[in-house]
Amino acid sequence: MTTTTDPAAAAVRSIGTARTRVEGRDKVTGAARYAGEIPFAELAHGWLVLSTVARGRVRSVEADPVLAMPGVLAVLHHGNAPRVESDFVGMLGVPPDPAAVVFQDDRVPHAGWPVALVVAETSEQAREAAETLVVHYDQEPHDVAFSAGHPGAYAPESAGYAEAAVEKGDLEAALAASSVVVDAEYTTPEEHHNAMEPHAAAARWDGGRLEVVDSNQGSTWVASELAQMFSLDPGAVRVRSEHVGGGFGSKGVRAHQVAAVMAATVLQRPVRVVMTRRQVFSLAGYRSPTVQRVRLGADADGRLRVLEHRSLSATSTVREFVETSAAAGRALYPADAHHTTHELVRLDVPTPTWMRAPGEAPGSFALESALDELAEKCGVDPIALRTRNEPDRGPVSGLPFGSRNLVACFEEGARRFGWADRDPRPGLRRDGRWLLGTGTAAASFHAGAGPSTAAVTAEADGTFTVRITAADIGTGARTALTLVAADTLEVAPERVRVRIGDSDFGPAMIAGGSMGTRSWAWAITIAARELRERLALDGTVPPEGVTVRSDTTEALGALSQKERHSYGAQFAEVAVDTATGEVRVRRMLGIFAAGRIVNPLTARSQLVGGMIWGISMALHEEAARDRNLGSHVGADLAGYHFAAHADVPAVEADWVDDQDPDDPIDIKGVGEVGIVGAAAAVANAVWHATGVRHRHLPIRPDRVLLAHTGAHDA
Amino acid sequence: MREFGYQRASDVSGALAVLDADPDARFIGGGTNLVDLMKTGVERPSRLVDVRELPLDEIAVTRDGGLRIGATVTNSDLAAHPEVRRRYPALAQAVLAGASGQLRNMATVGGNLLQRTRCAYFTDVTKPCNKREPGTGCPAVEGEHRNHAILGASGHCVAVHPSDMGVALTAFDAVVSYETAQGPGETPLADFYLPVGDTPHRETALPPGALITGVTLPPAPVAARSRYRKVRERASYAFAIGSVAAALDVRDNVVRDVRLAFGAVASRPWRARAAERALTGGPATAEAFAAAADAELAAAEPLRDNGYKVTLIRNLVVAVLSELAEEDAR
């Protein structure tokens, strides 16, 4: 038959129209299956056993009594597990997670380290046996206490994707020339992703091919790492991840997939491993606590001469990971002396990882709080202060900006929030027992793209199928990609089916770094455009369809160097009862410049979700670790608090017109910028309400109470 | 697999007989705490005897003007009952300050009194805990204890009782009724929870195998003007870090009657009798309220990180009593 695309439909664009998720009905009716519930014939169930000591060696594993329990099939541990390769650098430029390289030796580098996997016929049998398994340890002294001035602090040579240290200009001279100086220390606690869906994977061998059904942020990433670990041909591993209940940086290769593959190999039958919520706290990475010192020096009018930001974070003894908090200001504000550096301390704790807006989330809390303090000291409006420090090139890099609309965000936000009426003096507004205040902060997050391949097929029935190893981790990526493909093909989105989450579709970028949708859309656009042109010449479609493939590697390599970022202006109004320490956010507004918005409905959800996370970061989130035991306390959703519905009042996100001129369809990314600056906006509002600065997150009732008791005593 | 029996009791004597024969069996009401503890391995009952359908779900006004509340009345029904709201408003407020709508629909009055501490050491079987495993120690004393006790604790256990409802019941002199295989009994709620001492695993004065059948509130005209204020680390769906149930009767600026109880400060709801004594017959001023709170809190022994609770409770007492006094003055 003959397939035509419809240039007339080009007038009716899909991009920019609000669309509910194409899989939304499946999700709300339960038809959408997640990795932990996809049925397999002959499926066995593995349950991870984690170390209860914080440092030492496994002396012995008493497997025999457990093997005699009903349904138990195997107990894997360092004494009998298959050997795997771990000495490689994966697709994202980092080696595999040390805790995912399970059961290779007797070393226990932290509490919650995987020491065994119990496999049984049912999940309940496996759990009971795993909780019965006795593991003997030779315990060694541990250190899990993170603090400023830790004697083990050192300067790392590299900080992952960012430079560890950038020191431009003469700090002391610029400080001496400054008429106003802010010098303060800010801290943020250990924070966890806590995706709604815990990690889960099932592995099976099928005719010499390894198949893994998983919940991840990138099936190319997971498949390639598993192939390397198990020394398999890349084509011999297939990873699928159809629906994902959140990832936020935590869902790459973790202990559960590797343990499932090992067990499937040993037992020669499918094995599924699902983490419990408490296990997720130890096995899936987290955001390191930080201690950040910020020194700002400025002229009397607030123009910056000094921006110094030094951040200390923690890592494990088995991997170096830097929370790049100090990098947040490198492309945001100019200063004669611009010093941003990182230090690390190695502790007997799990290895931290990327968590929504890594670096920027904690870094913006410190930097944007310090700017508010500077505005206070200079007597300058906080928005005027930021406008006054708007650069025309990258402050450190000297590169031109792709598009920078931070000031437009502040102007639109100020108008809608009613900022012009604000009395800058703190502690003046009252509503019954509540003191009221407002605060603002800037947000920015890197806008990038990673190489991806896509295949777009014109089917004989007049529809189109897109195949790409994308991941929809709840963002609405599947729907956004449908709109992108429809517009490029010049057809209605109903004629386009987007298939994702299957490594057999070819290499693609992960859902991470706010780069997923942009990276995939780029690949789809190239393939769809070529397909449309081909069909325009000859619309004949054979029964097997017409397929065009694309690869963005070259196009991305040809991009000129620029500062490419999304921006935002965060506004918060809070109420504080200083007699009880309660802080309530009354309303929040975020105005963003995040490129062209593909699907306003899901983009708004992403941004609002980030802002709500910012409320949690400001007021609630904090993992507790017992120093004597070395392990978490309250590592579950009863103990680890984030905002409940009642904590989330009117939260509004919107955007200003913004384009990335170097992107084929002008998009950037909305995944992370929503959380950046949100906690600072809340903290700045708490100051405006009460006159007391809170430099330590979360701003808990006890901290508010003690600050005010102290203030009264003083 | 960890297996357990389950049966539904149709009458009280039948329910009692099961526990009499099997000391490892447990009564289950709404299951909103017990089931969680079973999932985490803290509780491993051999058998559950579901008492939720026993005919103990009535709320009745007693002849003397108090209230008799059946043990299987749900939290939702208790909070919605017009006589509760009229005679003991702080009780309805306390119940509504706890948990979520779904949990309150399941949770029962008897179960609420018997719920266990949410101390994160207690609920994690990989950790030492004297309450769960006597003799293993209390890591909270040196560890994470921001929400632990400031009153009535011991070096053996510093956990707090989590109930909101119990705080209001304690303020209003509730009496707990129960049945055993040997016959009925009753205990004032003030004596219901045992002192911590060196036996934190022994929590209540209930005889083994006893079933709570109800709670009786004696008449208390002062309770008609009462209030419950709860502070927690988020706006809802969290246990208190400090709470106050208060009732106040002021005439001519003299305190005629006052009831005061604190939550989240001790292993049991804390009746503030010293504060009540200090207030009764005196002036209803903010200074007097603060002095009364100080009189009660003089016994506080805060740990490294929970001293803020002293300030919090003091401030709450002043705030709540001041509000009640203002209403009285109107």
Three-state helix/strand/coil letters over A628-687: CCCCEECCCCCCCCCCCHHHCCEEEEEECCCCCCCCCCCECCCCCCCCCCHHHHHHHHHH
Residue type at position A568: G
* Confidence at residue A397, expressed as pLDDT on a 0 to 100 scale: 96
Which residue in B143, B234, B319 is closest to A579 by CB distance?
A: B319
- Most A CBs within 10 Å, among B1, B4, B147, B236, to test the A interface: B1
Q: Is A638 on the interface with B (CB under 8 A)?
A: yes
Q: Is B315 on the interface with A (CB under 8 A)?
A: yes
- Most A CBs within 10 Å, among B124, B141, B306, B312, to test the A interface: B124
Percentage of chain A beyond pLDDT 90 is 96
Q: Is B236 on the interface with A (CB under 8 A)?
A: yes
* Confidence at residue A6, expressed as pLDDT on a 0 to 100 scale: 61
* B87: Cβ contacts below 8 Å, ≥ 6 apart: B65, B67, B217, B220, B223, B224
Contact state of A628 with B127 under an 8 Å Cβ cutoff: no
Contact state of B143 with A633 under an 8 Å Cβ cutoff: yes
| In contact, A109 and A313? CB cutoff 8 Å | no
Peptide bond preceding A701: is omega within 30 degrees of 0, i.e. cis?
no
Q: Where are the domains of chain B?
A: 224-329
Which residue in A580, A646, A700 is closest to B235 by CB distance?
A: A646
Q: Which residues of A touch B1 (CB under 8 A)?
A: 70-71, 122, 124-125, 128
Residue A44, judged by CB atoms within 10 A of its CB (0-12, 13-18, 19+), counts as: buried
* A186: Cβ contacts below 8 Å, ≥ 6 apart: A290, A291, A292, A293, A294, A365, A366, A369, A370, A695, A696
Contact state of B2 with A128 under an 8 Å Cβ cutoff: yes
Residue A528 domain boundaries: 7-32+449-557
Q: Is B118 on the interface with A (CB under 8 A)?
A: yes
User: For strand B67-70 and strand B175-180, is the pairing parallel, antiparallel, or unpaired?
Assistant: unpaired
What totals of helices (H) and strands (E) does chain B contain, helices first? 12, 12
Neighbouring-strand partners of residue A306: A297, A337
Residue type at position A448: G
A 79-138 residues with CB < 8 A to B: 122, 124-125, 128, 131
A88: phi then psi, degrees, rounded to nearest 5: -150, 165
Contact state of B120 with A633 under an 8 Å Cβ cutoff: yes
Contact state of A579 with B118 under an 8 Å Cβ cutoff: no
ipTM: 0.97
Nearest to B165 by CA among B54, B29, B286, B257: B29
Q: Which residues of B touch A639 (CB under 8 A)?
A: 120
Q: Please tell me the distance from the alpha carbon of residue B129 to that of residue B120, in angstroms, as a whole number.
A: 10
* Confidence at residue A79, expressed as pLDDT on a 0 to 100 scale: 98
CATH topology of domain B224-329: Enolase-like; domain 1 (3.30.390)
Contact state of A644 with B235 under an 8 Å Cβ cutoff: yes
* Confidence at residue A661, expressed as pLDDT on a 0 to 100 scale: 82
* Confidence at residue A622, expressed as pLDDT on a 0 to 100 scale: 98
Q: Is B146 on the interface with A (CB under 8 A)?
A: yes
Q: For residue A142, tell me if it sits in a domain.
A: no
Chain B: residue whose CA lies nearest to A626: B143
* A473: Cβ contacts below 8 Å, ≥ 6 apart: A195, A217, A244, A245, A246, A247, A248, A251, A511
* Confidence at residue A67, expressed as pLDDT on a 0 to 100 scale: 98
Contact state of B2 with A626 under an 8 Å Cβ cutoff: no
- For the record, the structure tokens of B289 come out as 């309220």
Overall pTM surpassing 0.95 (yes/no): yes
User: For strand A114-120 and strand A290-298, is the pairing parallel, antiparallel, or unpaired?
Assistant: unpaired
Determine the distance in angstroms separating the CA of B103 from the nearest CA of chain A, rounded to an integer. 14
* Confidence at residue A712, expressed as pLDDT on a 0 to 100 scale: 40
* Confidence at residue A10, expressed as pLDDT on a 0 to 100 scale: 53
At residue A251, the 3 state secondary structure works out as: coil
Q: Please tell me the distance from the alpha carbon of residue A65 to that of residue A471, in angstroms, as a whole number.
A: 42
**For A67, which DSSP code?**
H
Chain B: residue whose CA lies nearest to A53: B126
For position A518, which CATH number holds?
A: 3.30.365.10
* Confidence at residue A711, expressed as pLDDT on a 0 to 100 scale: 45
- Most B CBs within 10 Å, among A139, A626, A648, to test the B interface: A626
Chain A: residue whose CA lies nearest to B120: A634
Q: Is A71 on the interface with B (CB under 8 A)?
A: yes
Match 């900022």 to its residue by tokens: A419
Percentage of chain A beyond pLDDT 70 is 98
Q: Is A42 a catalytic residue?
A: no
Contact state of B315 with A626 under an 8 Å Cβ cutoff: no
Q: Is A582 on the interface with B (CB under 8 A)?
A: yes
Chain CA centroid to CA A571, Å: 22
What Å distances lie between residue A300 and A261, A418, A693, CA to CA?
63, 26, 21
- For the record, the structure tokens of A112 come out as 């919650």
Q: Which residues of A touch B238 (CB under 8 A)?
A: 641, 644
Contact state of B120 with A580 under an 8 Å Cβ cutoff: no
Which residue in B305, B306, B311 is closest to A709 by CB distance?
A: B311
Which residue in B1, B120, B124 is closest to A128 by CB distance?
A: B1
Chain B: residue whose CA lies nearest to A702: B308
Q: Is B4 on the interface with A (CB under 8 A)?
A: no
Contact state of B2 with A645 under an 8 Å Cβ cutoff: no
- For the record, the structure tokens of A82 come out as 């298959």
| In contact, A222 and A502? CB cutoff 8 Å | no
Contact state of A705 with B311 under an 8 Å Cβ cutoff: yes
Chain A: residue whose CA lies nearest to B244: A580
Match 């504060």 to its residue by tokens: B275
Contact state of A626 with B143 under an 8 Å Cβ cutoff: yes
How many Cβ pairs closer than 8 A exist between chain A and B? Answer: 96
Stretches where chain A sits below pLDDT 50 are 711-714
Q: Is B120 on the interface with A (CB under 8 A)?
A: yes
* Confidence at residue B294, expressed as pLDDT on a 0 to 100 scale: 98
Q: For residue A203, tell me if it sits in a domain.
A: no
Q: For residue A507, tell me if it sits in a domain.
A: yes
Q: Is A633 on the interface with B (CB under 8 A)?
A: yes
| In contact, A575 and A456? CB cutoff 8 Å | no
Q: Which residues of B touch A71 (CB under 8 A)?
A: 1
Q: Please tell me the distance from the alpha carbon of residue B110 to that of residue A321, in angstroms, as a whole number.
A: 50
Helix (H) or strand (E) holding A417: helix A406-417
- For the record, the structure tokens of A456 come out as 């777009």
| In contact, A206 and A459? CB cutoff 8 Å | no
Number of domains in chain A: 1
Sign of CA dihedral A315, A291, A356, A308: negative
- For the record, the structure tokens of A242 come out as 């159809």
Half-sphere exposure of B26 (CA within 13 A, CB side): 18
A576-605 pLDDT, tens digit per residue, is: 999 999 999 999 999 999 999 999 999 999
Q: Which residues of B touch A278 (CB under 8 A)?
A: 124
Q: Please tell me the distance from the alpha carbon of residue B92 to that of residue B168, in angstroms, as a whole number.
A: 9
Half-sphere exposure of A385 (CA within 13 A, CB side): 26
Match 């709570």 to its residue by tokens: B212
pLDDT along chain B (330 residues), means of 10: 91 96 96 96 97 97 97 98 98 97 97 98 97 98 98 97 98 98 96 98 97 98 97 97 98 96 98 98 98 98 98 98 89
| In contact, A307 and A329? CB cutoff 8 Å | yes
